[in-house]
Protein backbone atom coordinates (compact mmCIF):
# COMPACT_ATOMS: atom_id res chain seq x y z
CA UNK A 1 0.00 0.00 0.00
CA UNK A 2 2.78 2.39 0.95
CA UNK A 3 4.62 1.55 -2.25
CA UNK A 4 1.49 2.27 -4.27
CA UNK A 5 1.13 5.68 -2.66
CA UNK A 6 4.78 6.50 -3.35
CA UNK A 7 4.42 5.45 -6.98
CA UNK A 8 1.25 7.52 -7.37
CA UNK A 9 2.93 10.55 -5.80
CA UNK A 10 5.88 10.14 -8.15
CA UNK A 11 3.55 9.93 -11.15
CA UNK A 12 1.63 12.96 -9.91
CA UNK A 13 4.86 14.88 -9.46
CA UNK A 14 6.03 13.89 -12.91
CA UNK A 15 2.71 15.01 -14.36
CA UNK A 16 3.08 18.45 -12.84
CA UNK A 17 6.63 18.99 -14.04
CA UNK A 18 7.45 20.04 -17.58
CA UNK A 19 7.76 17.08 -19.93
CA UNK A 20 10.83 16.91 -22.11
CA UNK A 21 9.69 15.91 -25.61
CA UNK A 22 11.23 12.55 -26.37
CA UNK A 23 10.77 13.12 -30.10
CA UNK A 24 12.57 16.36 -30.90
CA UNK A 25 11.15 18.74 -33.53
CA UNK A 26 14.06 17.95 -35.85
CA UNK A 27 13.21 14.24 -35.58
CA UNK A 28 9.69 14.64 -37.01
CA UNK A 29 10.49 14.52 -40.70
CA UNK A 30 8.72 11.17 -41.10
CA UNK A 31 5.69 12.35 -39.14
CA UNK A 32 5.36 15.52 -41.22
CA UNK A 33 5.29 13.55 -44.46
CA UNK A 34 1.78 13.94 -45.99
CA UNK A 35 1.45 10.15 -46.22
CA UNK A 36 1.34 10.09 -42.40
CA UNK A 37 -1.86 12.15 -42.28
CA UNK A 38 -5.00 10.27 -41.24
CA UNK A 39 -6.98 12.28 -43.77
CA UNK A 40 -4.73 14.27 -46.03
CA UNK A 41 -7.59 15.29 -48.34
CA UNK A 42 -10.41 16.77 -46.21
CA UNK A 43 -12.95 16.92 -49.02
CA UNK A 44 -12.49 13.21 -49.72
CA UNK A 45 -12.37 12.20 -46.05
CA UNK A 46 -15.60 14.09 -45.34
CA UNK A 47 -17.32 12.37 -48.23
CA UNK A 48 -16.26 8.87 -47.18
CA UNK A 49 -17.31 9.55 -43.60
CA UNK A 50 -20.70 10.52 -44.98
CA UNK A 51 -20.89 7.22 -46.86
CA UNK A 52 -20.06 5.34 -43.65
CA UNK A 53 -22.65 7.31 -41.66
CA UNK A 54 -25.30 6.56 -44.26
CA UNK A 55 -24.54 2.86 -44.49
CA UNK A 56 -23.89 2.09 -40.82
CA UNK A 57 -26.13 1.95 -37.78
CA UNK A 58 -23.13 3.28 -35.84
CA UNK A 59 -22.18 6.93 -35.88
CA UNK A 60 -19.52 9.29 -34.56
CA UNK A 61 -15.79 9.15 -33.81
CA UNK A 62 -14.91 8.82 -37.49
CA UNK A 63 -11.89 11.00 -37.11
CA UNK A 64 -13.13 14.09 -38.90
CA UNK A 65 -11.47 15.77 -41.80
CA UNK A 66 -7.88 16.79 -41.67
CA UNK A 67 -5.06 15.47 -39.61
CA UNK A 68 -1.39 15.59 -40.30
CA UNK A 69 1.65 16.43 -38.33
CA UNK A 70 1.84 20.15 -38.88
CA UNK A 71 5.53 19.96 -38.03
CA UNK A 72 6.64 22.21 -40.87
CA UNK B 1 -43.58 10.79 -54.84
CA UNK B 2 -40.55 11.93 -53.04
CA UNK B 3 -40.45 8.97 -50.79
CA UNK B 4 -37.27 9.10 -48.89
CA UNK B 5 -36.43 5.90 -47.40
CA UNK B 6 -32.81 6.28 -47.08
CA UNK B 7 -32.99 6.40 -43.30
CA UNK B 8 -30.04 8.40 -43.55
CA UNK B 9 -32.21 11.31 -44.32
CA UNK B 10 -32.41 11.45 -40.60
CA UNK B 11 -28.69 11.33 -40.40
CA UNK B 12 -27.91 14.12 -42.76
CA UNK B 13 -26.26 15.77 -39.83
CA UNK B 14 -23.60 13.11 -40.12
CA UNK B 15 -22.19 14.78 -43.18
CA UNK B 16 -22.63 18.14 -41.61
CA UNK B 17 -20.61 16.88 -38.73
CA UNK B 18 -17.96 15.51 -41.02
CA UNK B 19 -17.13 18.89 -42.39
CA UNK B 20 -17.59 20.71 -39.15
CA UNK B 21 -15.66 18.18 -37.12
CA UNK B 22 -12.50 19.46 -35.61
CA UNK B 23 -9.33 19.10 -37.53
CA UNK B 24 -6.79 17.30 -35.42
CA UNK B 25 -3.23 18.33 -35.99
CA UNK B 26 -0.13 17.47 -34.05
CA UNK B 27 1.10 20.96 -33.48
CA UNK B 28 -0.46 24.38 -33.23
CA UNK B 29 -0.53 25.43 -36.87
CA UNK B 30 -3.35 26.56 -39.10
CA UNK B 31 -4.45 24.24 -41.93
CA UNK B 32 -2.84 24.81 -45.32
CA UNK B 33 -4.45 27.10 -47.88
CA UNK B 34 -5.96 24.85 -50.51
CA UNK B 35 -8.95 24.30 -52.77
CA UNK B 36 -10.50 20.95 -53.70
CA UNK B 37 -13.07 20.25 -56.38
CA UNK B 38 -14.54 16.76 -56.09
CA UNK B 39 -17.03 14.74 -58.08
CA UNK B 40 -18.54 11.80 -56.21
CA UNK B 41 -20.56 8.89 -57.53
CA UNK B 42 -22.26 6.17 -55.49
CA UNK B 43 -24.13 3.25 -57.06
CA UNK B 44 -25.58 0.22 -55.34
CA UNK B 45 -28.74 -1.34 -53.96
CA UNK B 46 -30.84 0.50 -56.55
CA UNK B 47 -29.55 3.90 -55.41
CA UNK B 48 -27.41 6.31 -57.42
CA UNK B 49 -26.05 9.44 -55.78
CA UNK B 50 -23.66 11.81 -57.48
CA UNK B 51 -22.63 15.43 -57.42
CA UNK B 52 -19.86 17.95 -56.88
CA UNK B 53 -18.20 19.27 -53.75
CA UNK B 54 -16.04 22.39 -53.61
CA UNK B 55 -13.93 23.08 -50.53
CA UNK B 56 -11.85 26.25 -50.25
CA UNK B 57 -9.63 27.23 -47.34
CA UNK B 58 -7.69 30.49 -46.98
CA UNK B 59 -5.63 31.97 -44.18
CA UNK B 60 -6.48 35.53 -43.21
CA UNK B 61 -3.78 37.40 -41.32
CA UNK B 62 -1.52 35.45 -38.99
CA UNK B 63 -4.17 33.88 -36.79
CA UNK B 64 -7.28 33.08 -38.80
CA UNK B 65 -8.18 30.54 -41.46
CA UNK B 66 -11.54 30.54 -43.23
CA UNK B 67 -13.09 27.49 -44.87
CA UNK B 68 -16.15 27.19 -47.09
CA UNK B 69 -17.79 24.17 -48.68
CA UNK B 70 -20.58 23.65 -51.19
CA UNK B 71 -21.74 20.05 -51.57
CA UNK B 72 -24.53 18.60 -53.70
CA UNK B 73 -26.23 15.23 -53.97
CA UNK B 74 -28.34 14.21 -56.96
CA UNK B 75 -30.22 11.13 -55.86
CA UNK B 76 -32.07 8.52 -57.90
CA UNK B 77 -33.52 5.89 -55.63
CA UNK B 78 -35.10 2.54 -56.33
CA UNK B 79 -33.73 1.00 -53.14
CA UNK B 80 -35.26 -2.08 -51.60
CA UNK B 81 -37.15 0.14 -49.14
CA UNK B 82 -38.60 2.19 -51.96
CA UNK B 83 -39.44 -0.83 -54.07
CA UNK B 84 -41.06 -2.54 -51.07
CA UNK B 85 -43.41 0.28 -50.16
CA UNK B 86 -43.46 2.98 -52.85
CA UNK B 87 -42.16 4.13 -56.23
CA UNK B 88 -38.69 5.22 -57.37
CA UNK B 89 -37.95 8.91 -56.91
CA UNK B 90 -35.40 11.58 -57.68
CA UNK B 91 -34.15 14.08 -55.16
CA UNK B 92 -31.58 16.81 -54.74
CA UNK B 93 -29.77 17.96 -51.62
CA UNK B 94 -27.63 21.06 -51.21
CA UNK B 95 -25.28 21.55 -48.32
CA UNK B 96 -23.28 24.66 -47.53
CA UNK B 97 -20.86 25.29 -44.70
CA UNK B 98 -18.68 28.12 -43.48
CA UNK B 99 -16.06 27.89 -40.76
CA UNK B 100 -13.23 29.74 -39.10
CA UNK B 101 -10.12 28.59 -37.24
CA UNK B 102 -8.39 30.93 -34.81
CA UNK B 103 -4.85 30.15 -33.68
CA UNK B 104 -3.47 31.66 -30.49
CA UNK B 105 -0.19 30.21 -29.26
CA UNK B 106 -0.70 26.50 -28.73
CA UNK B 107 -4.48 26.78 -28.90
CA UNK B 108 -6.74 26.58 -31.93
CA UNK B 109 -10.41 27.46 -31.69
CA UNK B 110 -12.89 26.58 -34.42
CA UNK B 111 -16.44 27.55 -35.26
CA UNK B 112 -18.53 26.22 -38.12
CA UNK B 113 -22.06 26.46 -39.42
CA UNK B 114 -23.56 24.05 -41.93
CA UNK B 115 -26.96 24.01 -43.57
CA UNK B 116 -28.51 21.22 -45.60
CA UNK B 117 -31.67 21.59 -47.63
CA UNK B 118 -33.76 19.09 -49.55
CA UNK B 119 -37.44 19.01 -50.36
CA UNK B 120 -38.56 17.35 -47.14
CA UNK B 121 -35.65 17.75 -44.73
CA UNK B 122 -33.85 20.84 -43.49
CA UNK B 123 -30.87 20.79 -41.17
CA UNK B 124 -28.70 23.43 -39.55
CA UNK B 125 -25.66 22.56 -37.44
CA UNK B 126 -23.39 24.82 -35.41
CA UNK B 127 -20.07 23.46 -34.16
CA UNK B 128 -17.44 24.76 -31.77
CA UNK B 129 -14.10 23.28 -30.80
CA UNK B 130 -10.86 23.94 -29.05
CA UNK B 131 -7.56 22.15 -29.65
CA UNK B 132 -4.59 22.43 -27.30
CA UNK B 133 -1.09 21.30 -28.21
CA UNK B 134 1.12 20.35 -25.28
CA UNK B 135 4.22 18.47 -24.11
CA UNK B 136 6.44 19.81 -26.86
CA UNK B 137 3.68 19.28 -29.41
CA UNK B 138 3.74 15.54 -28.79
CA UNK B 139 0.19 15.58 -27.47
CA UNK B 140 -2.86 17.34 -28.87
CA UNK B 141 -6.17 17.36 -27.01
CA UNK B 142 -9.40 18.37 -28.70
CA UNK B 143 -12.81 19.18 -27.25
CA UNK B 144 -15.78 19.68 -29.53
CA UNK B 145 -19.47 20.38 -29.33
CA UNK B 146 -22.07 20.70 -32.05
CA UNK B 147 -25.79 21.22 -32.06
CA UNK B 148 -28.15 20.55 -34.92
CA UNK B 149 -31.73 21.73 -35.27
CA UNK B 150 -33.54 19.89 -38.03
CA UNK B 151 -37.03 19.92 -39.48
CA UNK B 152 -38.42 16.67 -40.83
CA UNK B 153 -40.97 17.12 -43.59
CA UNK B 154 -43.10 14.85 -45.75
CA UNK B 155 -43.53 15.19 -49.48
CA UNK B 156 -47.25 14.37 -49.48
CA UNK B 157 -48.15 16.74 -46.65
CA UNK B 158 -46.75 20.28 -46.87
CA UNK B 159 -47.95 21.02 -43.34
CA UNK B 160 -45.92 18.18 -41.87
CA UNK B 161 -42.94 19.59 -39.93
CA UNK B 162 -41.40 17.77 -36.98
CA UNK B 163 -38.34 19.06 -35.10
CA UNK B 164 -35.23 17.10 -34.19
CA UNK B 165 -32.45 18.37 -31.94
CA UNK B 166 -29.02 16.74 -32.14
CA UNK B 167 -25.99 17.30 -29.97
CA UNK B 168 -22.46 15.92 -30.38
CA UNK B 169 -19.85 15.90 -27.63
CA UNK B 170 -16.34 15.05 -28.80
CA UNK B 171 -13.09 14.38 -27.00
CA UNK B 172 -9.99 13.56 -28.99
CA UNK B 173 -6.32 13.07 -28.33
CA UNK B 174 -3.43 12.68 -30.73
CA UNK B 175 -0.16 11.33 -29.42
CA UNK B 176 3.26 11.06 -31.06
CA UNK B 177 4.97 8.00 -29.58
CA UNK B 178 8.11 7.75 -31.69
CA UNK B 179 9.55 9.56 -34.69
CA UNK B 180 7.69 7.08 -36.88
CA UNK B 181 4.53 6.23 -34.93
CA UNK B 182 1.49 8.22 -33.84
CA UNK B 183 -1.99 7.42 -32.56
CA UNK B 184 -5.38 9.10 -32.29
CA UNK B 185 -8.01 8.41 -29.64
CA UNK B 186 -11.57 9.62 -30.16
CA UNK B 187 -14.64 9.55 -27.94
CA UNK B 188 -17.98 10.86 -29.12
CA UNK B 189 -21.38 10.98 -27.47
CA UNK B 190 -24.37 11.91 -29.59
CA UNK B 191 -27.87 12.67 -28.35
CA UNK B 192 -30.96 13.06 -30.53
CA UNK B 193 -34.37 14.18 -29.42
CA UNK B 194 -37.52 14.62 -31.47
CA UNK B 195 -39.04 12.92 -34.48
CA UNK B 196 -36.45 10.23 -35.16
CA UNK B 197 -38.20 7.76 -37.43
CA UNK B 198 -38.85 7.99 -41.12
CA UNK B 199 -42.30 9.28 -42.09
CA UNK B 200 -42.34 7.01 -45.13
CA UNK B 201 -41.03 3.71 -43.84
CA UNK B 202 -43.19 0.80 -42.70
CA UNK B 203 -42.76 -2.36 -40.71
CA UNK B 204 -44.60 -5.55 -41.53
CA UNK B 205 -46.47 -8.01 -39.36
CA UNK B 206 -47.87 -11.45 -40.02
CA UNK B 207 -51.48 -11.60 -41.19
CA UNK B 208 -51.89 -14.88 -39.36
CA UNK B 209 -51.47 -16.90 -42.54
CA UNK B 210 -48.66 -16.92 -45.08
CA UNK B 211 -48.76 -13.21 -45.87
CA UNK B 212 -48.09 -9.94 -44.13
CA UNK B 213 -49.56 -6.47 -43.62
CA UNK B 214 -47.81 -3.10 -43.24
CA UNK B 215 -47.96 -0.48 -40.53
CA UNK B 216 -45.88 2.66 -39.88
CA UNK B 217 -42.66 2.32 -37.94
CA UNK B 218 -42.49 3.80 -34.43
CA UNK B 219 -39.20 4.88 -32.85
CA UNK B 220 -38.40 6.30 -29.43
CA UNK B 221 -38.11 10.09 -29.28
CA UNK B 222 -34.60 9.96 -27.87
CA UNK B 223 -31.42 8.29 -29.03
CA UNK B 224 -28.09 8.36 -27.20
CA UNK B 225 -24.93 6.76 -28.53
CA UNK B 226 -21.32 6.41 -27.45
CA UNK B 227 -18.46 5.69 -29.82
CA UNK B 228 -14.78 5.12 -29.16
CA UNK B 229 -12.10 4.85 -31.83
CA UNK B 230 -8.37 4.21 -31.77
CA UNK B 231 -6.18 4.79 -34.81
CA UNK B 232 -2.49 4.27 -35.35
CA UNK B 233 -0.15 5.09 -38.22
CA UNK B 234 3.41 3.92 -38.69
CA UNK B 235 6.07 5.21 -41.06
CA UNK B 236 7.81 2.17 -42.48
CA UNK B 237 11.61 1.91 -42.83
CA UNK B 238 11.20 2.94 -46.48
CA UNK B 239 8.91 5.79 -47.55
CA UNK B 240 5.49 4.23 -46.99
CA UNK B 241 2.90 4.22 -44.20
CA UNK B 242 0.75 1.52 -42.60
CA UNK B 243 -2.33 2.34 -40.56
CA UNK B 244 -5.00 0.57 -38.54
CA UNK B 245 -8.22 1.57 -36.82
CA UNK B 246 -10.61 -0.06 -34.35
CA UNK B 247 -13.95 1.52 -33.50
CA UNK B 248 -16.63 0.41 -31.05
CA UNK B 249 -20.20 1.66 -30.79
CA UNK B 250 -23.18 1.24 -28.47
CA UNK B 251 -26.49 3.09 -28.19
CA UNK B 252 -29.69 3.34 -26.18
CA UNK B 253 -31.57 1.44 -28.89
CA UNK B 254 -29.55 -1.69 -28.25
CA UNK B 255 -27.37 -1.46 -31.33
CA UNK B 256 -23.76 -2.50 -30.80
CA UNK B 257 -21.20 -2.35 -33.57
CA UNK B 258 -17.51 -2.76 -34.15
CA UNK B 259 -15.44 -1.85 -37.18
CA UNK B 260 -11.83 -2.24 -38.16
CA UNK B 261 -9.72 -0.83 -40.93
CA UNK B 262 -6.19 -1.41 -42.21
CA UNK B 263 -4.49 0.73 -44.81
CA UNK B 264 -1.24 1.09 -46.70
CA UNK B 265 0.12 4.19 -48.45
CA UNK B 266 2.94 3.93 -50.96
CA UNK B 267 4.52 6.81 -52.91
CA UNK B 268 5.72 5.76 -56.36
CA UNK B 269 7.52 7.16 -59.41
CA UNK B 270 8.29 10.51 -57.77
CA UNK B 271 4.86 12.05 -58.47
CA UNK B 272 2.39 9.36 -57.45
CA UNK B 273 0.88 8.23 -54.16
CA UNK B 274 -1.00 4.94 -54.08
CA UNK B 275 -3.27 4.01 -51.20
CA UNK B 276 -5.16 0.84 -50.31
CA UNK B 277 -7.67 0.22 -47.52
CA UNK B 278 -9.75 -2.64 -46.21
CA UNK B 279 -12.64 -2.01 -43.83
CA UNK B 280 -14.82 -4.51 -41.98
CA UNK B 281 -18.01 -3.55 -40.17
CA UNK B 282 -20.33 -5.67 -38.06
CA UNK B 283 -23.37 -4.72 -36.00
CA UNK B 284 -26.16 -6.27 -33.96
CA UNK B 285 -29.80 -5.29 -34.26
CA UNK B 286 -31.80 -2.72 -32.33
CA UNK B 287 -33.92 -4.07 -29.47
CA UNK B 288 -37.15 -3.07 -31.24
CA UNK B 289 -36.19 -4.32 -34.71
CA UNK B 290 -37.94 -7.22 -36.40
CA UNK B 291 -38.12 -8.29 -40.01
CA UNK B 292 -41.63 -9.65 -39.37
CA UNK B 293 -43.62 -8.77 -36.27
CA UNK B 294 -46.10 -11.43 -35.08
CA UNK B 295 -49.15 -9.12 -35.11
CA UNK B 296 -50.16 -5.46 -35.35
CA UNK B 297 -48.77 -3.15 -32.64
CA UNK B 298 -46.80 -6.07 -31.27
CA UNK B 299 -44.73 -3.70 -29.13
CA UNK B 300 -44.50 0.00 -28.32
CA UNK B 301 -41.58 0.63 -30.68
CA UNK B 302 -41.37 -0.92 -34.13
CA UNK B 303 -38.54 -0.81 -36.65
CA UNK B 304 -37.69 -2.56 -39.91
CA UNK B 305 -34.90 -0.29 -41.06
CA UNK B 306 -32.16 -2.51 -42.47
CA UNK B 307 -29.54 -0.26 -40.86
CA UNK B 308 -31.04 -1.21 -37.49
CA UNK B 309 -30.84 -4.92 -38.29
CA UNK B 310 -27.90 -7.27 -37.77
CA UNK B 311 -25.51 -7.11 -40.72
CA UNK B 312 -21.93 -6.75 -41.81
CA UNK B 313 -20.03 -5.31 -44.72
CA UNK B 314 -16.59 -5.48 -46.24
CA UNK B 315 -15.03 -2.61 -48.14
CA UNK B 316 -11.90 -2.30 -50.24
CA UNK B 317 -10.54 1.00 -51.53
CA UNK B 318 -7.81 1.83 -53.99
CA UNK B 319 -6.71 5.41 -54.55
CA UNK B 320 -4.13 7.01 -56.82
CA UNK B 321 -2.90 10.60 -56.56
CA UNK B 322 -0.75 12.35 -59.12
CA UNK B 323 1.06 15.46 -57.92
CA UNK B 324 1.90 18.24 -60.36
CA UNK B 325 3.49 21.69 -60.25
CA UNK B 326 5.44 20.62 -57.20
CA UNK B 327 7.89 23.42 -57.84
CA UNK B 328 5.12 25.98 -58.05
CA UNK B 329 3.33 27.45 -61.06
CA UNK B 330 1.71 30.87 -61.19
CA UNK B 331 -0.08 31.33 -57.83
CA UNK B 332 -0.13 27.57 -57.19
CA UNK B 333 2.40 26.02 -54.83
CA UNK B 334 1.48 22.50 -55.95
CA UNK B 335 -1.48 20.46 -57.13
CA UNK B 336 -2.80 16.93 -57.33
CA UNK B 337 -5.28 14.90 -59.34
CA UNK B 338 -6.87 12.03 -57.45
CA UNK B 339 -9.02 9.01 -58.25
CA UNK B 340 -10.49 6.78 -55.54
CA UNK B 341 -12.55 3.62 -56.08
CA UNK B 342 -14.29 1.68 -53.31
CA UNK B 343 -16.31 -1.50 -53.38
CA UNK B 344 -18.72 -2.54 -50.60
CA UNK B 345 -20.41 -5.89 -50.01
CA UNK B 346 -23.33 -5.88 -47.53
CA UNK B 347 -24.82 -9.03 -46.01
CA UNK B 348 -27.92 -8.80 -43.81
CA UNK B 349 -28.62 -11.51 -41.27
CA UNK B 350 -32.28 -10.73 -40.49
CA UNK B 351 -33.57 -8.47 -43.23
CA UNK B 352 -35.40 -10.28 -45.98
CA UNK B 353 -35.90 -9.20 -49.55
CA UNK B 354 -39.69 -8.89 -49.77
CA UNK B 355 -39.51 -7.74 -53.39
CA UNK B 356 -38.81 -11.36 -54.33
CA UNK B 357 -42.15 -13.02 -54.97
CA UNK B 358 -43.16 -16.62 -54.46
CA UNK B 359 -42.24 -16.97 -50.80
CA UNK B 360 -44.34 -17.01 -47.66
CA UNK B 361 -43.81 -14.21 -45.16
CA UNK B 362 -40.58 -14.68 -43.21
CA UNK B 363 -39.12 -17.13 -45.69
CA UNK B 364 -37.92 -14.70 -48.36
CA UNK B 365 -34.18 -14.77 -49.12
CA UNK B 366 -31.97 -12.64 -46.90
CA UNK B 367 -31.06 -9.33 -48.49
CA UNK B 368 -27.56 -8.61 -49.74
CA UNK B 369 -26.14 -6.09 -52.14
CA UNK B 370 -22.92 -4.50 -53.31
CA UNK B 371 -22.12 -0.91 -54.11
CA UNK B 372 -19.35 1.08 -55.75
CA UNK B 373 -18.08 4.51 -54.84
CA UNK B 374 -15.97 6.71 -57.07
CA UNK B 375 -14.30 9.99 -56.21
CA UNK B 376 -12.40 12.13 -58.66
CA UNK B 377 -10.95 15.36 -57.37
CA UNK B 378 -8.49 18.12 -58.15
CA UNK B 379 -6.59 19.83 -55.35
CA UNK B 380 -4.41 22.91 -55.45
CA UNK B 381 -2.34 24.51 -52.70
CA UNK B 382 -1.63 28.23 -52.89
In a domain, A56, yes or no: yes
Helices (H), B76-136: 80-85
CA B227 to chain centre: 14
Query: What local confidence, expressed as pLDDT, does residue B156 receive?
Result: 86
Query: What local confidence, expressed as pLDDT, does residue B10 receive?
Result: 39
Query: What local confidence, expressed as pLDDT, does residue B12 receive?
Result: 41
Selecting from A23, A53, A64 the residue whose C-beta is nearest the C-beta of B23 gives A64
Measured at the CA of B278, the angle between CA B273 and CA B284, to 5 degrees, comes to 150
Q: What is the pLDDT of residues B130-184, one digit of tens each?
A: 999 998 889 999 999 999 999 999 988 999 999 999 999 999 999 999 999 999 9
Q: CA-to-CA distance for B131 and B36, rounded, in angstroms?
A: 24
End-to-end, the C-alpha distance of chain B in Å comes to 45
In a domain, A17, yes or no: no
Q: Give whole-number Cα distances, B99 to A49, B63, B65, B114, B166, in Å.
A: 19, 14, 8, 9, 19
Residues of chain B with pLDDT under 50: 1-24
pLDDT at A18 over 80: no
The domains located in chain B, with CATH, are: 7-381 (2.40.160.40)
Question: Contact A53/B187, CB-based, under 8 Å?
Answer: no
Chain B residue numbers with beta carbons less than 8 Å from the beta carbon of A60 are: 17, 168, 170, 188-190, 225, 227, 249
- Count up the domains in chain A and report the number: 1
In a domain, A30, yes or no: yes
Question: Contact A58/B228, CB-based, under 8 Å?
Answer: no
User: In this structure, is the dihedral angle defined by the CA atoms of residues B109, B145, A49 and B90, taken in order, positive or negative?
Assistant: negative
Q: CA-to-CA distance for B4 and B91, rounded, in angstroms?
A: 9
Question: How buried is residue B210: exposed, middle or buried, by Cβ count under 10 Å (0-12/13-18/19+)?
Answer: exposed
Q: Is B41 left (phi over 0), alpha (psi -120 to 50) or beta?
A: beta
**Domain housing A59:** 23-72
Closest CA to A62 of B101, B278, A52: A52
Q: What is the pLDDT of residues B177-223, one digit of tens each?
A: 999 999 999 999 999 999 998 888 999 999 999 999 999 999 999 99
Spatial neighbors of A7 by CB under 8 A, at least 6 apart, are: none
In a domain, A6, yes or no: no
**How many CB pairs below 8 Å do chains A and B form together?**
200
Query: What local confidence, expressed as pLDDT, does residue A7 receive?
Result: 59
Q: Report which secondary-structure segment, H or E, holds B140.
A: strand B139-154
In a domain, A10, yes or no: no
List the single residue in B with minimal CA-CA distance to A55.
Answer: B307
Q: Give whole-number Cα distances, B313 to A14, A53, A67, B153, B310, in Å.
A: 45, 13, 26, 31, 11
* A25 pLDDT tier (thresholds 50, 70, 90): confident
Spatial neighbors of B357 by CB under 8 A, at least 6 apart, are: none
List the single residue in B with minimal CA-CA distance to A49.
Answer: B18
B81 close to B306: Cβ distance less than 8 angstroms = yes
In a domain, A4, yes or no: no
Chain B residue numbers with beta carbons less than 8 Å from the beta carbon of A65 are: 18-19, 21, 23
Amino acid sequence: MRLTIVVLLCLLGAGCSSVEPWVKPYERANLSDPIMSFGRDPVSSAYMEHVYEVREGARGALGGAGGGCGCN
Amino acid sequence: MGVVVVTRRLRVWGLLGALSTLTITYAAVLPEDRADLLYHYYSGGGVTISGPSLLVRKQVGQNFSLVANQYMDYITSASIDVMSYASPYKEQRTQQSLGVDYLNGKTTMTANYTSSIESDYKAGTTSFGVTQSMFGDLTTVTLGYSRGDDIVGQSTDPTFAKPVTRQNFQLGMSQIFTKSFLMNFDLETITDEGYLHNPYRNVRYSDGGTGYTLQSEVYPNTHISNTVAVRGKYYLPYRAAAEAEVRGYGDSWGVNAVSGMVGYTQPAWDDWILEFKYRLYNQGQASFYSDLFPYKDAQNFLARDKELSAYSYNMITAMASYEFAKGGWSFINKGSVNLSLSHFQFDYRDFRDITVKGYTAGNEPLYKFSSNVMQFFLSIWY
